[in-house]
């Protein structure tokens, strides 16, 4: 397959030839192959690597399955996902890992399976498996079943370091939540309750523990500019989720309980600060925290509705819309969605359009801006917090040289576990 005259993120116009599963050549006037795609005026990007999704299986297949989740990924230009361990059963030992691996084999895109750290985990069994990362580790979160204490956190950091995999941390200190807002019933109460301070102090704590051990952690879904600065100053990496870049507390009147997630939406000032840090470089990557729930489940009181929003299909389109408007460069979009993610999580054959790399590619018309509509997305949950926003969606997505998504239809393709075969 040959992409003819594609524009790369850095503005160069090149032919890109795929042979088998890999990029065989990047150049000019390359010889045509059996199949040639006219990419003149189109942008060719390395597929997004989403380091944070909840594809829900096993246990919650009414919310999402590996099939629907991975279709949603492919249609949004995501070619690799890292699945989080808070499924049922949680991924904390060999048996639960194997069960998830069997289900994940249905994925259309590449995947990695993360291991959970809880009091019940079996680290020897779990770390004998090819894990994407440990975590997201929930630090002493009394509200969740996966919250852990510092000694277990230290043990996890040491074991992950020995195994050569990252530790990702969900940083919110539940002891700093504001119980005084418990009698409020408006959607903004969730943001008032799970305070910005609770995130900042938890990031400080996590970075402090990692520093003391001479190791590193990756902070998941940071929502506060102050938290990003703490992580960056400590030399740690961090991610931001699309909802913290594009939504704020100002949107909660409209979103209602559909805008509840953890960490919660922050002030408009903080949202602007997050976007600036994404552009300027203190935020390393964008990861979606794709966490679908059904419409029925979300339609509940602010204290009863489950936390989480879908996002895997809209992340790259939202960022490409910003690049189209000139608020962020295409190179920066490429780095935060692919290149930096591959570097942080050690995916040596992914994240770049260069000879020898996996042919995980996304072709887009950079001017094809459309309205985002939840009913047109492919996640099982059928709604999006970004309803009515503009996005630039891919025309075509390849995974290891195979076209998995093109013009609204999907190929019959199996992704592979990047840690098994990579
Ligand atoms: Zn989380």
In a domain, 217, yes or no: yes
Q: What percentage of the chain carries pLDDT values higher than 90?
A: 94
Q: What is the model's pLDDT at position 288?
A: 98
Local confidence band at 143 (pLDDT 50, 70, 90 cut-offs): very low
| 178 flagged as catalytic | no
**Cα dist. 405→75, 103, 200, 325, 413 in Å?**
6, 21, 40, 26, 10
In a domain, 335, yes or no: yes
**Domain of residue 234, residue span:** 47-353+368-392
Q: What is the model's pLDDT at position 422?
A: 36
Number of structural domains found in the chain: 1
Q: What is the model's pLDDT at position 140?
A: 61
Distance separating the N- and C-terminal Cα atoms of the chain: 22
Q: What is the model's pLDDT at position 301?
A: 97
**Residue 242 scores a pLDDT above 60:** yes
pTM to 2 decimal places: 0.97
Asked if residue 360 lies in contact with residue 47, where contact means CB atoms within 8 angstroms, the answer is yes
Query: How far is the centre of ligand 1, averaged over its atoms, from the C-alpha of 221 (Å)?
Result: 7
Query: How far is the centre of ligand 1, averaged over its atoms, from the C-alpha of 220 (Å)?
Result: 6
In a domain, 276, yes or no: yes
Average pLDDT, the chain: 96
Query: Which one, of 125, 122, 132, lies nearest residue 168 by Cα?
Result: 132
In a domain, 398, yes or no: no
**Residue 325 scores a pLDDT above 90:** yes
Q: What is the model's pLDDT at position 150?
A: 83
Local confidence band at 139 (pLDDT 50, 70, 90 cut-offs): confident
**Residue 338 scores a pLDDT above 50:** yes
In a domain, 196, yes or no: yes
The mean per-residue pLDDT over the stretch 104-113 comes to: 98
Q: What is the model's pLDDT at position 147?
A: 61
In a domain, 41, yes or no: no
Q: Which residues are annotated as a binding site for substrate?
A: 54-56, 86, 293
In a domain, 411, yes or no: no
Query: How far is the centre of ligand 1, averaged over its atoms, from the C-alpha of 253 (Å)?
Result: 24
Local confidence band at 165 (pLDDT 50, 70, 90 cut-offs): very high
Q: Which of 93, 289, 358, 360 is catalytic?
A: 289
**Residue 118 scores a pLDDT above 50:** yes
Angle between the N-to-C axes of helices 225-233 and 196-212, in degrees from 0 to 180, rounded to the nearest 10: 10
In a domain, 308, yes or no: yes
Asked if residue 179 lies in contact with residue 194, where contact means CB atoms within 8 angstroms, the answer is no
Q: What is the model's pLDDT at position 141?
A: 53
Angle between the N-to-C axes of helices 196-212 and 150-163, in degrees from 0 to 180, rounded to the nearest 10: 60
CATH number of 243's domain: 3.20.20.140
Q: What is the model's pLDDT at position 146?
A: 56
């Amino acid at each position: 397959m040959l992409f003819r005259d594609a524009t790369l993120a850095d503005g160069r116009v090149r032919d890109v030839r795929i042979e088998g599963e890999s990029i065989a050549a990047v150049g000019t006037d390359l010889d045509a192959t059996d199949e040639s795609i006219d990419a003149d005026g189109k942008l060719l990007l390395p597929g997004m690597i989403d380091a944070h999704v909840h594809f829900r299986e096993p246990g919650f297949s009414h919310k999402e399955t590996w099939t629907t989740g991975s279709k949603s990924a492919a249609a949004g230009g995501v070619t690799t996902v890292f699945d989080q361990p808070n499924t049922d059963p949680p991924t904390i030992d060999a048996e639960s890992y194997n069960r998830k691996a069997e289900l994940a084999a249905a994925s259309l895109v590449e995947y990695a399976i993360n291991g959970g750290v809880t009091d019940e985990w079996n680290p020897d069994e779990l770390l004998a498996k090819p894990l994407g990362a440990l975590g997201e580790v929930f630090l002493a979160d009394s509200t969740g079943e996966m919250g852990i204490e510092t000694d277990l956190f230290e043990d996890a950091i040491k074991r992950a370091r020995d195994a050569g995999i990252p530790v990702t941390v969900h940083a919110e200190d539940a002891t700093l939540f504001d119980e005084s807002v418990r009698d409020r019933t408006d959607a903004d109460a969730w943001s008032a309750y799970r305070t910005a301070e609770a995130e900042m102090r938890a990031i400080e704590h996590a970075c402090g523990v990692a520093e003391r051990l001479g190791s590193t952690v990756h902070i998941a879904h940071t929502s506060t500019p102050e938290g990003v600065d703490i992580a960056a100053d400590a030399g740690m990496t961090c991610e931001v989720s699309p909802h913290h870049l594009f939504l704020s507390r100002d949107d909660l009147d409209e979103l209602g309980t559909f805008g509840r997630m953890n960490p919660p939406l922050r002030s408009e000032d903080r949202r602007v600060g997050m976007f600036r840090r994404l552009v300027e470089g203190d935020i390393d990557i964008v990861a979606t925290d794709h966490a679908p729930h059904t419409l029925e489940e979300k339609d509940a009181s602010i204290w009863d509705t489950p936390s989480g929003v879908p996002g895997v299909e809209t992340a790259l389109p939202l960022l490409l819309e910003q690049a189209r408007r000139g608020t962020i460069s295409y190179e920066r979009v490429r780095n935060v969605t692919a290149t930096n993610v591959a570097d942080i999580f050690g995916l040596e054959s992914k994240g770049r359009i260069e000879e020898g790399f996996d042919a995980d590619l996304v072709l887009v018309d950079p001017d094809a801006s459309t309205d985002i509509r939840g009913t047109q997305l492919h996640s099982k949950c059928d709604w999006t917090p970004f309803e009515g926003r503009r996005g630039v969606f891919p025309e075509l997505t390849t995974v290891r040289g195979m076209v998995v998504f093109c013009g609204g239809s999907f190929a019959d393709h199996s992704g592979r576990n990047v840690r098994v075969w990579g």
